A and B are shown apart, each in its own frame.
Chain A
Amino acid sequence: MVQKHFTIKNAQGFHMRPATNFATAMAGYPCAVTIKYNGRDVNAKSPMFIMAACIKVGSEIDVVCDGEGENEALAAAAEMIESGFGE
């Protein structure tokens, strides 16, 4: 199991498009991907769950990858979040 701490940079946070793109990207990895935010575990392979978590700009989150391909998944997640989802 690997995990990394992030601060959300893009102004609109995990709104629909980042959530959908992020979830679609994570769904490509066999490992489980979870966003820990505000004391809750959010299934990062579902855009709905991500959106429902209402993760705004400046929020502190941990992305946890557990299972096969966990390192690759975490690296991909880090790239998306740190780039501000290209916004």
Chain B
Amino acid sequence: MRITDLLKKEGIRIGTAPASKAEAIDLLVGLHEKCGDLYDTAAYREGILAREAMGTTAIGMEIAIPHAKSEAVKAPALTAITAPAGVDYGSPDGMPAKLLFMIAATTDGDVHMEVLARMMQLLMDMDLTEKLKNAKTPGEFLSLIDAAETAKFPDEVKAAPAEPEKKGYRVLAVTACPTGIAHTYMAAEALAKAGEKLGIPIKVETNGSGGAKNVLTPEDIANCDGIIIAADKSVDTARFDGKPVWSTKVADGIHKPEELINKIMNGEAPVFKADKKAEAASDIGNESFGRRLYKHLMNGVSHMLPFVVAGGIFIAIAFLIDAAKGVPMDGNFGSVTPVAAWFKAMGGYAFNFMLPILAGFIAMSIADRPGLLVGVVGGFLAANGATFADPFAAATTPSGFLGALLAGFVAGWLLKLFEKLCDKLPRALEGLKPVLIYPLAGLGIVAVMMCAVNPIMGVLNNALSSGLLWLNQHNLGVVLGCILGAMMSIDMGGPLNKAAYVFGTGMLAAATTESFQVMASVMIGGMVPPLAIALSTIFFKNRWTAEERKNGVVNIVMGLSFITEGAIPYAAAYPLKVIPSCAVGAAVAGGLSWLFNCTLMAPHGGIFVVPTIGKPLLYLLALAIGAIVGMLMLAVLKRPIKEEAAED
């Protein structure tokens, strides 16, 4: 039993001036009451006074130790005051008491004897008692006692902390960022260091791109005081039910780790309830609407990225093989040689999943697991363009990338709304909700929505086609080149892109110089966006995160292969900055290509079909100028990111 186990800072008052013994006793009893040591303050005070009536508890040397064993005491405890002016306590040596301790002892056991003995052993040290009398703060008072006790009973020190300390980690944390390469780990390291500095055991789970590492076990969670979630994407929170959880952005984990840990240790974090869907967790950190939007979007983009990269490279390999074989550069280019055909098909299959995955993970981020179905199906419908009139999508226009974004967000929100409405259903139906009601309603919602949206895209598409035709007929070729280039890069596979591309390939059939000029402008417009972004990540490094820079290199291959989709992850993440820049760059390239009288006879293939290009060097020059214009404009629109808060 250490004195410091019984005496708390709150139980100490420095520099009191009691006028009498009774006042001093009242002060000490009051401190016990404040510390919550007593069941019955009056009864305990009674006990103290009865003991004093039998003889003073002043022990000389300006020290008094009033004490009582009482039923009114919850657990053994100490309080203390210093009275620099002294108080008459009837001491045997006639000296006033300046240092007073009050012992509250339970009626069972010898604690009271042991505490008394321990205190006497310490208080025999005149040096210590003088220092205690002159202590300036309760903290100083307590640390003086702690130091003296540690010096006197060194053996206890090692044993003592192990016993009363709670086991396991006090604070847990989960860090995650959309790309899962840098910030996740920077935040984890910052939190771990802060925990070490504050002397608080902390365990940090990293939800990076390679999956979750250092995963929190149910035991960790059960034993901890609270959990910090520093994440810019959704993390699994259902497991934290009933624990205090503080949710914030990953940048706070990097910049304010100590503040976050203190929020948990000070009990400022609200207790998390998992029954209202995991999504609620990401809302409690009072996030703005824009931030939630970004988080949902990035959840989709980060899951889509691997499909884009792998599929795009496979398709580029197919073109490379066919080019090496010297096959005719027509509509079949890239799938003539069997090996090329295999690569092109496999890459194409991966590409087919792009929009469903994008929309699916956006919707899942919004509406939790039931959202996956609506998003994936919605993304698929955006890609194939089904309508009410043409459900098999035999002859329709896909709404593409923009349609998939719409599917992910709108269907996700509608489903979430539907889930809220379902709260009113009888409890008996609870089990049916996730397996039947949500999927059924979700599919209905998204199917109706996308079949309604796709025809609108189709109309848009037709209007654009006739507009382009009109331009071509009126000899406004350069303008047409600019517009085609811009259209290719605005929605990257959506209606504008499709309209321009279909127009371009349709013109090929006419087999005139002009028609080949159209195709050249179309392809160059699709090649600029990935190249502009790739150049930006190389020459304007401070605009991008490490992860974005890494993927930038891949975009060179994508751009040269006429795989516009490489730019989608960037366009989705920063649409208002990337899309205008790419569109302007592509428009410049498309216009220049027309001006230079470049022609193209192949419908796709990028740099690999250069042999079919008329004036190939000028074509490459136009491409380079377009990409550089796009890069420069991006540099203007997208400001340098702050060193670490990159993903904000």
A residues contacting B by CB (< 8 A) are 12-13, 15-17, 20-21, 24, 47-49, 51-54, 56
Contact = CB atoms under 8 A, between A and B. Distances in A.
A12 B113 contact: yes
A49 B116 CA distance: 11
Contacts of A47: 59-60, 92
Nearest to A50: B120
B60 A16 contact: no
Main SS of chain B's interface residues?
mixed
Contacts, number: 45
Contact of A51 (B54, B92, B110, B117): B117
B59 A52 contact: no
A49 B120 contact: yes
A56 B113 contact: yes
Contact of A20 (B61, B92, B117, B121): B92
Nearest to B58: A20
B55 A17 contact: yes
A83 B365 CA distance: 81
Contact of A56 (B67, B110, B123): B110
A40 to B, nearest CB: 11
A7 B414 CA distance: 85
Contact of B124 (A17, A52, A54): A52
Contacts of B271: none
Interface centre among A12, A15, A21 (most CB of B within 10 A): A15
Contacts of A12: 113
Given A16-B65, A54-B116, 12 more contacts: A13-B110, A13-B113, A15-B113, A15-B116, A17-B54, A17-B55, A20-B55, A20-B92, A48-B59, A52-B117, A52-B121, A52-B124
Contacts of B287: none
B99 to A, nearest CB: 13
Interface in B235-272: none
A1 B457 CA distance: 116
B41 to A, nearest CB: 22
Contacts of B114: 54
A52 B113 contact: no
Interface in B587-618: none
B67 A16 contact: yes
A53 B60 contact: no
A51 B55 CA distance: 16
A52 to B, nearest CB: 4
B124 A48 contact: yes
Q: Which of B60, B120, B124 has the most CB of A within 10 A?
A: B120
Contacts of B55: 17, 20-21
15 contacts: A13-B110, A15-B116, A16-B59, A16-B65, A16-B67, A17-B54, A20-B55, A48-B61, A48-B120, A48-B124, A49-B124, A51-B117, A51-B120, A52-B120, A54-B117
Top 10 closest A-B pairs, CB basis?
Answer: A54-B117, A52-B120, A51-B120, A52-B121, A48-B120, A51-B116, A47-B59, A52-B117, A15-B113, A48-B124
Contacts of B110: 13, 56
A15 B120 contact: no
Given A20-B92, A49-B120, A15 B59 contact: no
Nearest to B57: A16
Contacts of B113: 12-13, 15, 54, 56
A49 B146 CA distance: 21
Interface string B116-140: 1110110110000000000000000
Contacts of A21: 55
A49 B124 CA distance: 8
Contacts of A15: 112-113, 116
A20 B52 CA distance: 13
B571 to A, nearest CB: 79
A49 B117 CA distance: 9
Given A48-B60, A48-B124, A53 B117 contact: yes
Contacts of B65: 16
Contacts of B60: 47-48
Interface string B96-120: 0000000000000010111011101
A53 B113 CA distance: 10
Nearest to A54: B117
Interface in B57-107: 57, 59-61, 65, 67, 92
Contact of A24 (B92, B117, B124): B92
Contacts of B112: 15
A51 B121 CA distance: 8
Contacts of B59: 16, 20, 47-48, 51
Nearest to A14: B113
B177 to A, nearest CB: 60
Nearest to A21: B55
B115 to A, nearest CB: 10
A12 B111 CA distance: 11
A20 B64 CA distance: 12
